[in-house]
Amino acid sequence: MLEELTLELMGLYRQDLRDYREILDRMTDYQLFLEKRENGNRTKKDESPSSLLLAKIDDDFEKELLEFSVCREDIFNRLQDRKRKSDEIRGFISQETGIAFDVSGLKAYLNEPLHQEFLGLTASLQNEMTEVLKKDEVILPRLKMELQSIKVELHRIQGAKRTKNAYENPGQRESRFIDKTK
């Protein structure tokens, strides 16, 4: 029974490992996309404000951001679902062994090759989680900076538009008759 639970838990961990690798690949791609945008925006210093805004708020950025966020959310939802299942299995393992769940503590209850494989799998999973967190620390500040610069540029252009509209003739007004005899 304990070996079956451990194998089931290892299966969930393998799926988690695949998902972490997938999100890492997506994060790397998105990081490269952001770096390419940053480098591209540095070379466009002399353009007019409206064309700069159009360059920043383009379809590619919106599409990439949407794809990245949908993919990320989907993967994290799958990881959370499997975490609930693995927490349940870890509880069963704890009941079966009578001790709190600990991978190294299972050595006495599992055969050596299975235990070593389980240790390797958990170590790989922890490494992938650490890599995802490191990528998050790089991507999220860049994304926030990009969104903030877009917001600043948008406010600047909206202000310029309001100023232009304030001094512009709104158009011909309709003639009105004023009766001065009254």
Q: State the angle between helix axes of 112-167 and 49-56 in degrees (0 to 180), rounded to the nearest 10.
A: 160
User: Which among 46, 26, 44 has a CA at the least distance from the CA of 34?
Assistant: 26
Q: Between the CA atoms of 107, 108, 111 and 112, what dihedral angle is there, to the nearest 10 degrees?
A: 40
CA atoms within 13 A on the CB side of 171: 1
Residue 22 has a pLDDT of 95
In the prediction, which pLDDT does 127 show?
96
Q: Is residue 103 part of a domain?
A: yes
Range of the domain at 124: 2-165
Examine residue 173 and state whether it is found in any structural domain, yes or no. Answer: no
- DSSP3 helix / strand / coil % (the chain, rounded to 5): 80, 0, 20
Q: What's the structural domain count of the chain?
A: 1
127 within a domain of the structure (yes/no): yes
182 within a domain of the structure (yes/no): no
**Residues with pLDDT less than 70, the chain:** 40-59, 165-175, 182
Q: What is the pLDDT of residue 118?
A: 92
pLDDT of residue 19: 95
Q: Tokens 């870890």 — which residue?
A: 90
Asked whether residue 45 is domain-assigned, the answer is yes
Q: Looking at the domain assignment, is residue 55 inside a domain?
A: yes
With beta carbons less than 8 A apart as the criterion, state whether 119 and 104 touch.
yes
pTM of the shown model = 0.73
**177 lies in some domain:** no
pLDDT for res 65: 83
Note whether residue 48 is domain-resident.
yes
- pLDDT at 46 (0 to 100): 44
Q: Which two tokens stand for residue 148?
A: 């903030």
Which pair of structure tokens corresponds to residue 30? 């998105």
**Nearest residue to 136 via CA among 26, 7, 13, 10:** 26
* Per-residue pLDDT at 151: 80
Q: What is the dihedral of CA 96, 102, 107, 108, to 10 degrees?
A: -40
The 3-state DSSP class for residue 177 equals: coil
Complete DSSP assignment for 8-50: HHHHHHHHHHHHHHHHHHHHHHHHHHHHHHHHHHHT-TTS-HH
